[in-house]
Every structure is written in structure tokens, then in C-alpha cells.
Amino acid sequence: MNIALIAQDSKKELMVRFCIAYCGVLSRHKLCATATTGKIVSEATGLRVVNFLSIEQGGCQQISARISCGEVDMLVFFRDGNHPELMGPEENDMLRLCDVHTVPLATNIATAEVLIHGLERGDLDWRNIGRPLF
């Protein structure tokens, strides 16, 4: 599975703790992330993470394009609900694309843990059916 990781600044430490806790599961999948999130996750866990641009430089658009092309199977996007003004149109479009393309999405630690446990059990294996070959 291809898993995209994004965390707004106030949630980066939470993303690191999440990835440390589930390093065993995540290590069996392909990870991509926006620049800073990917860097700190990789440094803290040793996981291989393909880094895109930062959120400000277009990283969300890069991940959105991969969602649209069927190249992202799950998105973990820890966002700060206390500051909705931090969500730009690019981030909102990325969330909309998850709905359009039926990509499982976690925006907080509770849903991320549900998805990661489902991933570990094989509940998301349906994503491999009909996957385009690139």
C-alpha cells in the first residue's frame, strides 16, 4: 500500500509518535510525505519516506495528483482543528479528492489508529483490486 503522511506544524510531533508506535506496520508499506513531515518521520523512525515539496511549496498538490491517479491508498493528515484558517484550498481539495477516489483518510490520531489496525488486519486489501499498472 502507498501511504501519504502530512502534518501541520502543531501536529508534527504527534505524527512522529504515531509513526514510532506503528513503525512495524508502516515499514511494510511505501510512504510518502510533505517535506518536513517526511524528514522528521524518517529521522525518528528510520523508515524510508519519499519526500515531496513542503505544504507551502505545493506538496499537497503533488499528493493530490497521486490520489487522482490512484497512487495513494491511504492518507494520514494530522491537522490542527483549533486553527481552521490554516487549511488552504489545496488542503481542502486534497480531502475532497480522497472522497472522490475512495481513499481512506485519517485527520486525527483516533482515525489514524483505526486505519492502521485495519491495514494490519488486511481490511484495506480491496485497494489492490483493479489497481492500474504503471
The per-residue pLDDT for 84 is 64
Longest dimension (CA), the chain: 40
Q: What residues does each domain of the chain span?
A: 2-80+90-126
Helices and strands, number each (H, E), in the chain: 6, 5
pTM over 0.85: yes
Compute the C-alpha angle 39/89/14, nearest 5°.
Answer: 35
Buried b (16+ CB within 10 A) or exposed e, 97-130: bbeeeebbbbbebeebeebbeebeeeebeebeee
- pLDDT per residue, tens digit, the chain (134 aa), is 999 999 999 999 999 999 999 999 999 999 999 999 999 999 999 999 999 999 889 999 999 999 999 999 999 999 987 666 666 778 889 999 999 999 999 999 999 999 999 999 988 887 777 655 44
d(CA 9, CA 6): 10
The per-residue pLDDT for 89 is 77
If phi > 0 it is left, if psi is from -120 to 50 it is alpha, else beta; for residue 60 that is alpha
d(CA 14, CA 108): 9
Give the neighbor-by-neighbor strand order of the sheet with 49-51. 49-51, 30-33, 2-7, 74-78, 105-106
Q: Which fold has domain 2-80+90-126?
A: Rossmann fold (3.40.50)
